[in-house]
Amino acid sequence: MEETFQKTVERVKKLNLLKEDDLKLLQRVDAASAELVNSEYESYLERKFNDKAIPLLSRYKVMGIPIDRRYGGDGANSLVHCLAMQRFGQVGMGIVTLVDVHQFLGSLTLQQWGTEEQKQRILPEAAEGKSVLAYALTEPEAGSDPSSMASSFETNDDAYILNGSKYLISNGSIAKYVVVFARSKIDGAISAFIVDSKTSGFEVAMRLSEKLGLFTSDTALLEFHEMAIPKDALLGKLGKGLSVAYSALLNGRIGIASGCIGVMEDCLNSCVERAKYRMQHGKEIGKHQLIQKHLAHIATDLESARWPVYLAAIMKDELDADLKNAELLRSVDRQSATAKLIASRNAYDAADRAVQIFGGFGYSILSPVGKHLVDTRVARIYEGTDEIMELKVASSILGKEFEAYK
Amino acid sequence: MKFHLAGKVKINAPRDNIFASLSNPEFMATCIPDLQSFSVADQDHFSAKIRVGIGMIRGTIEMRFSIEEKKPISHARLVGEGSGAGSKMRIDSVFDLLPAGDSTEMIWAADADLSGLIAGIGGPVLKGQSEKQVNQIFQNVRSKLEN
């Protein structure tokens, strides 16, 4: 195992929070991550989607980490899933985004809200990596406020007819199934659907490559033109789509936060290596106090983010065993927002400090810490911006009537 | 910046053939990907100009190699030193050939010491890229010796 990851796994194991099966799974995740480094880096240099990632993750059987064993997955709990995402984060946020959307926003959402028929039809394929899942909530005019979405649906005797567009959809052009949200033309209530991307009227309007970073992850603009989907594509109850959306984002935020821990670990490892061999002013740069200051910042920011993220995962496991506990749901929602806010900010700052330690080379396209800098910035935006996370935390302290983002 | 690589590869050829080939600079030259030029000083010393890089980012390095500690037909050490593309590198590698039925198992290990531009790429990526390069060399060795 990668040394930093092994230390973490051993530390968590001492707390009696890991079983033998979990360790085997994490070993597969570690091996997959070690092999992913090459293709991820090469794809980044060429500014293109890493098309080797899904076959590789499937080969190591890590596409179905949280999917119940009944459907062919590992059935890992949130903490184990969080550790896996942490290891993927060392490789980079491109892999984290692919896996987070497929597993947290896609598979787990289907597992929680889907019918038995939907789960039996889709989850085994998803666990094997034969199908990739995506999550389509954001629209060109509806970002932090999903309730303002314009995508709509009508109902006829045997189908829902969807129209609209979805923007910045990770895995959007490679997904076989997409969790789609749309508003009823009758009463305006939002519903969730699981849509087969081969459905007539489903169009990948654009593969979005004009990003600051995250080139190795697929991002698309989707359009739906009179797209007729069967009635059994409804996910959860009619008109209760925002509950589905928010529960998915709660999960997803833990995934992104976990990935950010891995980014910080890789930045710290790279900087320690650099500080020990790079000579300036007649000594290793690690012997200069201002370099040590950067290293200390990264290391303390890493530890100050790590445990809030693990706590969010542990609390999510408690919630999974007590799904109707509304008070616990609010606590987990707050912890998930807290974890993402801290981890994504700290990871971006760690990458920035790492670029500074690497000096001119840090600014080169060849620099892996430079890759982290451009790839991690989006973690402060997607699945809830820093500002929305702050407002969620504040309103959870003040009370529901103080929700400033509504 | 230093890192260590190690591995083993099975080659369906007798040990004496493999040893003779691996200690023959002219044979090795045919197995190095992206070789631009090559010259032999004597049977244990040669130099090579190699295009190296990742993806579309490429440069050229000039390496001087010496074959040391030759113990026919089981062991050899290959040391290479060179510079180019704003970088310097030294690679110290050993090969041990063990009989494995009709085949031969080659166990190898290498210590790399890099400085300059290329060192900035850092451990995990450089190690991964180096392993890829080494695997390509061994694949070429195998395909030439097994056919």
| Pairwise CA distance, residues A217 & A93, whole Å | 8
Q: Do residue B119 and residue A90 have CB atoms under 8 angstroms apart?
A: no
State the pLDDT at residue A362: 94
Name the minimum distance, in Å, from the CA of B54 to any CA of chain A: 6
Final residue of a structural domain among A131, A151, A167: A131
Statement to judge: residues A361 and A255 lie in one domain: yes
Token pair in block for residue A7: 């230390």
Question: Domain containing A192: what range?
Answer: 134-235
What single string gives the DSSP state of each residue in A210-274? --SS-TTS-EEEEEEEEEEEEGGGEESSTT-HHHHHHHHHHHHHHHHHHHHHHHHHHHHHHHHHH
- Complex ipTM more than 0.90, yes or no: no
Q: Where are the alpha helices (DSSP H) in A278-288?
A: none
State pLDDT tens for residues A238-255.
Answer: 999 999 999 999 999 999
Statement to judge: residues A105 and A203 lie in one domain: no
Taking 70 as the threshold, does the pLDDT of residue B27 lie above it? Answer: yes
Residue A4 corresponds to which amino acid? T
Name the minimum distance, in Å, from the CA of A328 to any CA of chain B: 40
Please name which of A57, A101, A37, A92 lies closest in space to residue A374, comparing C-alpha atoms: A92
Q: Residues A44-56, buried b or exposed e (16+ Cβ, 10 A)?
A: bbeeebbebbbeb
- Domains delineated in chain B: 2-146 (3.30.530.20)
Q: Do residue A38 and residue B57 have CB atoms under 8 angstroms apart?
A: no
State the pLDDT at residue B56: 59
Residue A297 corresponds to which amino acid? H
Please name which of A383, A126, A341, A138 lies closest in space to residue A250, comparing C-alpha atoms: A383
Statement to judge: residues A118 and A216 lie in one domain: no
CB A149 within 8 Å of CB A178: no
Q: What is the mean pLDDT of each run of 10 residues along chain A (406 residues)?
A: 91 90 97 96 94 98 98 97 98 98 97 98 98 96 89 95 97 98 96 98 94 96 97 97 95 97 98 95 97 98 97 96 93 97 98 97 93 98 95 93 84
Q: How many CB atoms lie within 10 A of CB A120?
A: 12
Final residue of a structural domain among A173, A205, A235: A235
Statement to judge: residues A35 and A174 lie in one domain: no
User: Is residue A383 annotated as part of the catalytic site, yes or no?
Assistant: yes
Statement to judge: residues A217 and A278 lie in one domain: no
CB A350 within 8 Å of CB A296: no
Catalytic residue chosen out of the listed positions A203, A383, A387, A401: A383
- Residue A240 placed within a domain: no
Number of domains making up chain A: 3
| Pairwise CA distance, residues A157 & A175, whole Å | 28
Q: Which of B55, B115, B123 sits opposite A45 (nearest CB)?
A: B55
CATH number, domain with residue A161: 2.40.110.10
State the pLDDT at residue B135: 86
Statement to judge: residues A349 and A217 lie in one domain: no
